[in-house]
Amino acid sequence: MKHYKSLAELHRFNGLPMPEHPLFSVYRCPKTTSLGENPFTSDFFILGFKKLKSGVIMYGRTQYDHENGCMLFAKPRQIMQFQNLEYHEDSFIVFIHEDFLNGHSLNNEIGKYAFFDYEANEALHLSPREEQIMWDLFFKIDAEYRANNDEYSRSIMLSHVDSMLKYSQRFYKRQFINRAELSGKTVSKFNDVLDAYFKNGATELRGLPTVSTLASQLSLSPRYLSDLLKQETGKTAIELIHIYLINEAKNRLRSNDQRVSEIAYALGFEDLSYFSRLFKRETGSTPNQFKKHLFK
């Protein structure tokens, strides 16, 4: 698989105009493009806007759908592929080498944007107004990119990139709300698969339920699921798993015929001390103290 370490290599290999900067480039896509027809990885962050008429964009092992007005986000060393793309209208891609962020505040901030870990079918769908905001930011980035490079250029370009990411975060929250209204509360579906995990005896074979396991059953990526649940409930997926575990533990502790260790192992805990620490953190008392208080 091809791995691009430099932007010059990526541009040259794909027949694009050579980049104006060794660590930062922008590309306004024509109606058709052959960019990355074979799978590739890179040392770049990629931000793109697309309106596909046909073709496939692969991100990892899943593909972006062909809905108009979608943003895509990729991080370094993520597998990407673009096949036979034909666009309804202009699209753009911004390439940022990870070294370009060194020493800038965005170097620490960019890792906080969970959508870089979303699956491709969780792309950001933009309204016409939101599209215009993204295009305005792109034009500002492009104008600075093509101007004479000076000591302000990097800071200005990254400030616009930062705005693009912040707007994306805002628009994703809007999408979470719209999605919940259209498809029902994610938390209800999450609780259903979590409940089924225990009723089907999965703890005996697989141990504690993980966010990844439950997300896969809902056909979502772990971070997207967690962000959806945070929007709906104020709590992340792992926090909701912990709440479920502790409530289940409390129910079982109310029965005097099971020892604490038996309950812990039945719930999927391999480490009794971890079960006790989690229980105390959530309730303020250890399992033994909780049980003793019930039966004193």
Burial 213-225 (b: 16+ CB within 10 A, else e): bbbebeebbbbbb
Q: Same domain, yes or no, for 227 and 124?
A: no
* pLDDT for res 36: 56
Chosen domain end from 183, 218, 250: 183
Q: Same domain, yes or no, for 103 and 190?
A: no
Chosen domain end from 148, 183, 218: 183
Q: With cut-offs at 50, 70 and 90, classify the pLDDT of residue 95.
A: very high
Chosen domain end from 151, 183, 215: 183
In DSSP terms, 47 is beta-bridged to 73, 94
Rounded CA-CA distance 65/51 in Å is: 10
Q: Is the pLDDT of residue 60 over 70?
A: no
CATH code, domain carrying 160: 2.60.120
Q: Is the pLDDT of residue 285 over 70?
A: yes
Q: Same domain, yes or no, for 10 and 142?
A: yes
Q: Same domain, yes or no, for 118 and 6?
A: yes
Q: Is the pLDDT of residue 200 over 90?
A: no
pLDDT tens digits along 13-41: 888 889 999 999 998 876 555 565 677 88
For residue 68, the enclosing domain spans 2-183
pLDDT tens digits along 235-277: 889 999 998 898 888 888 877 677 888 888 888 888 889 999 9
Q: Same domain, yes or no, for 179 and 284?
A: no
> What is the tally of structural domains in the chain?
2
* pTM for this prediction: 0.64
